[in-house]
Amino acid sequence: MGQSTILELQGLKENFGDDNEIIVSILDMFLQEVPTDYDNLKQAVENKNYEAAGLLAHKVKSSYRTLDMETETFLLQEIENKAKNNEDLEDVHQLFDQFNQNYQEGLNQVKLTLDHHASL
């Protein structure tokens, strides 16, 4: 896997300007909440609990959208839609597998970005 890069955070910077303290707080909250939500989403998908998977995908999606992580946001939106609408449920597993492939790299990017902003 390639070297992790620092996230641009255009959306956060547009909303909060140079308020680095808020940006650090949002990144820190992401790292505290997303791993637990990810584990719960993974379990819901594995157990074919699609109602829970749809709700969890929605929750996790908000965190990724806040950080402008578009690929993850798209995959989570697709998981949410299919799970909530109870359609193409086999796709939920494939979409989660795609999300899962990028999950650790995404966390690494958020950690690097947090370290960068915490040092400013």
Residue 74 CA to residue 54 CA, distance in Å, equals 14
Domains of the chain, by residue range, sit at 10-118
- pTM confidence score: 0.90
Show pLDDT as tens, one digit a residue, over the chain (120 residues): 456 788 999 888 898 888 999 999 999 999 999 999 999 999 999 999 999 999 999 999 999 999 999 999 999 999 999 999 988 888 999 999 999 999 999 999 999 999 999 998
Under a CB-based contact definition with an 8 Å cutoff, are residues 113 and 9 in contact? yes
pLDDT at res. 87: 86
Under a CB-based contact definition with an 8 Å cutoff, are residues 35 and 107 in contact? yes
pLDDT at res. 3: 64
pLDDT at res. 5: 81
Of 69, 39, 72, nearest in space to 53 by CA: 39
> In this structure, which topology does domain 10-118 adopt according to CATH?
Four Helix Bundle (Hemerythrin (Met), subunit A) (1.20.120)
